[in-house]
Chain A
Amino acid sequence: MAGETVARGLGLARPGPRTSLGIIWTVFLARLRIILRYKGAILGESLLPVVFAGLPILLGIAVAGDEQTAAENFFRTTAGAGQGASDFRLYMLLGSNTFMVVSLMLWLIGYWVRREQETGTLEALYLAPAKRLHVLAGVTSYTLVRALIAFVSAMVIGSIVFQVNPLAGNFPAALGYLILGIPALWGISFIFGALILRIKEANSVIQLLQWVLAFAMGVYFPVTVFPALVRYAAMAFPPTLMNDAMRSTLLGLTSIYGPWYIVLGLMLMAAWTVPLLGYEFFLAVERRIKKDQGVGQF
């Protein structure tokens, strides 16, 4: 009798598709409502990529002596690495904007796990009649919306500040690559969330990974400048692929991965496999933690 009333560990609750969508929507709405109380955060996320792009631009001009020489030197360096970017301002802006999207996705998932742990609500969430996948889908949808808002607004602000025109290239295709890159980012976010669940030190791990990401993604320079081993490791990283796909589309550069159909194929593959792997990893870590000390300990 008891077995009949228990639906997959969810007690008496029987979640159908409508309930599942309801969970995703409720979590999404809850996160959105919280962040809407802190409008400054949204503004900060829009300005941050402009600052990140501004630093190497100012630095580059200082090193080269003047803007023209900076552009020539940067073109020569990137050409040597197989690309040849003439507009270094747009190159930096795109790199830092994509970096912001990736970074935000990781930050928000990591901090969500950590905050729930600290406020003592993570265990309660596990006891609620809701599947983890749906809760995670709600949180990741929220991170996606927040990251896209930051991307678009930073692009607009950055274009005005640095006087570049991102619409000169194939903008819809670049946006398509960005959207296609999101599922892989979700997958990485799940892995990241699992890491935070396990090692708990969200702040330091996020801060460290942020800079590892910036390095691996080739935010300020193509990853082909790295030695072979580091280069291949960086190229196997999905955000690097997304960054390169967007940058080569918008700036009319040769992708470091090859022709466009290879880039598209790799992106589709990443969009299919990384979320599955990420979710499996999350579940495996979660199972282990539940067996040991439980998810509530921090």
Chain B
Amino acid sequence: MHRGFGLARGGLRQYVETFVDMSKKVFVEYSRYPIAFIALFVQIFLIILLFIFSAFAFSSGEPGDPRVTTFAGMMAYGFVTNIFLSFTLWEVGFSIREEQVRGTLESLYLSPTNKFSNLLSRIFMILSWTTIMCAAGLGLVSVVMGGLPASNVGMGLLILVFTISGFLGLGFLFAGITIRLKETAQILVSFFQFFFMIFSAQFFPFSVLPQPVLDYISRWLPVSYAVDLFRTTLLGIPPELMPGNYWLEFLIVALFGIVSPVLGYFGYRAVERKARSAGTLGEY
């Protein structure tokens, strides 16, 4: 007998196997809905293009306006962070809600599965697919725009890894919130999605935000630093939030990527324990 799991023995191997098996389950689920995969790609392309068209409407009209190219890059790369954040919040947080609605969440908790592997597997496949789709979407936009700036790709990818890891923490936390708030969590996820879109300037440069908003809100959000560093690194320009201190901003992003999943997971476990002791885990 091992920690109430009957004959199952928890350990690294079991964690990995749980992760692999549940990722497979997510993959099988997604493979049943192939239109979702195509929709995701078209959606990414359309959103970027919609905002680029809007930017054109405000441009000077001169062909090859460098401002438009820079802003197109800011938008496109900012959008990449936005889509990863959105998917993390929705897929981790909301898949728990789906399990509640379907009535399978309690059964899952009665099985000897590792909870961390369970949470992580919900997002792994969709993140992998999103990465491919984002790369293809950016490529397509680059063709339409006549080339997007792309410097320091290696560093940009490293920052993206920390950024996604940080987002995972937020996703875990939202999974806990979903257990507690149930249907209302959907509103909260939407709210935070748009909150970060505006205050972490995912579709425009930080310079557009009013100074008080920038100083009292944006600068306090680690997501802002992740967005800023990722896109300015790829654009080959100094970061907007800490123009003179690139490495300090990198440290913030790295810490966000390391600390956030740990805190998020502890937050999730705390809510989950409370729900289990109150017997409300399966309620919806």
Interface positions of A (Cβ within 8 A of B): 37-38, 40-41, 43-44, 47-48, 51, 54-56, 58-65, 70, 73-74, 76-78, 88, 118-119, 199-201, 203-205, 207-208, 211-212, 214-215, 219-221, 225
CB of B108, distance to nearest CB on chain A (Å) = 18
Which residues of the other chain, A, contact B58 by a CB distance below 8 angstroms?
Answer: 56, 59-61, 63-64, 70, 73-74, 77, 88
Cβ-closest chain A residue relative to B181: A40
* Docked CA distance A26–B137 (Å): 46
B49-105 residues at the A interface, CB under 8 angstroms: 49-51, 53-61, 67-68, 71, 75, 101-102
* Docked CA distance A208–B43 (Å): 5
CB of A41, distance to nearest CB on chain B (Å) = 5
Decide if A38 touches B183 in the complex (CB within 8 Å): yes
Which secondary structure dominates chain B's binding surface?
Answer: helix
Decide if A62 touches B46 in the complex (CB within 8 Å): no
Decide if A204 touches B57 in the complex (CB within 8 Å): no
Q: Which of A41, A60, A201, A205 contacts B55 (CB 8 A)?
A: A60
Decide if A201 touches B36 in the complex (CB within 8 Å): yes
Which residues of the other chain, A, contact B40 by a CB distance below 8 angstroms?
Answer: 204
Which residues of the other chain, B, contact A61 by a CB distance below 8 angstroms?
Answer: 58, 208
Decide if A212 touches B46 in the complex (CB within 8 Å): yes
Decide if A199 touches B36 in the complex (CB within 8 Å): no
Instruction: Give 11 pairs: A residue, B residue, CB < 8 Å, sorted on A.
Output: A59-B55, A61-B208, A65-B67, A73-B59, A73-B60, A74-B57, A74-B58, A201-B33, A204-B36, A204-B40, A215-B49
* Docked CA distance A64–B59 (Å): 6
Which residues of the other chain, A, contact B75 by a CB distance below 8 angstroms?
Answer: 59
With A59-B55, A77-B57, A225-B57 already in contact, 8 other A-B pairs whose C-beta atoms are closer than 8 Å: A38-B187, A44-B187, A55-B51, A56-B58, A59-B203, A62-B208, A211-B43, A211-B46
User: Is B190 among interface residues, defined by CB-CB distance under 8 A?
Assistant: yes
Decide if A199 touches B194 in the complex (CB within 8 Å): no
CB of B282, distance to nearest CB on chain A (Å) = 15
Decide if A62 touches B71 in the complex (CB within 8 Å): yes
Interface positions of B (Cβ within 8 A of A): 33, 35-36, 39-40, 42-43, 46-47, 49-51, 53-61, 67-68, 71, 75, 101-102, 183-184, 186-188, 190-191, 194, 197-198, 203-205, 207-209
Which residues of the other chain, A, contact B35 by a CB distance below 8 angstroms?
Answer: 199, 201, 204-205
* Docked CA distance A77–B57 (Å): 6
Decide if B208 touches A207 in the complex (CB within 8 Å): no
Q: Which of B101, B191, B194, B208 contacts A59 (CB 8 A)?
A: B208
Decide if B183 touches A215 in the complex (CB within 8 Å): no
Which residues of the other chain, B, contact A225 by a CB distance below 8 angstroms?
Answer: 53, 57
Cβ-closest chain A residue relative to B185: A40
Which residues of the other chain, A, contact B203 by a CB distance below 8 angstroms?
Answer: 55, 58-59
Which residues of the other chain, A, contact B209 by a CB distance below 8 angstroms?
Answer: 58
Chain B CB within 10 Å, residue with most, of A64, A65, A119, A208:
A208
Chain A CB within 10 Å, residue with most, of B60, B68, B71:
B60
Decide if B53 touches A220 in the complex (CB within 8 Å): yes
* Docked CA distance A297–B191 (Å): 33
CB of B65, distance to nearest CB on chain A (Å) = 8
Which residues of the other chain, A, contact B208 by a CB distance below 8 angstroms?
Answer: 58-59, 61-62
